[in-house]
Amino acid sequence: MDVRTHETMVTFDHPFRIRGTEGVLPAGTYRVVIDKEQILGLSFIAYRRMATMLHTPAVAAP
């Protein structure tokens, strides 16, 4: 199966929350990785998104 990975950087100007996570993430630049797989059986090449990952900074233990 053919899988494509695309990476980009996204900048947030303000602190933000993501539903399902604890706390507020600081403003800054984050890496976003998108994985797509090829849809087989079509008469043209097409891909569907499998996963989107936002890489956040590690939280230091107290």
User: What CA–CA distance (Å, rounded) separates 39 from 23?
Assistant: 37
- Whether residue 26 has pLDDT greater than 80: yes
- Whether residue 37 has pLDDT greater than 80: yes
State residue 23's pLDDT score: 85
Within 1-62, strands assigned E span 3-12, 28-38, 47-55
User: What CA–CA distance (Å, rounded) separates 18 from 50?
Assistant: 19
| Average pLDDT of the residues of the chain | 91
Side by side, the strands of the sheet bearing 28-38 are 3-12, 28-38, 47-55
* CA atoms 36, 52, 56, 16: torsion sign: positive
- 58 against 37, higher pLDDT: 37
pTM over 0.85: no
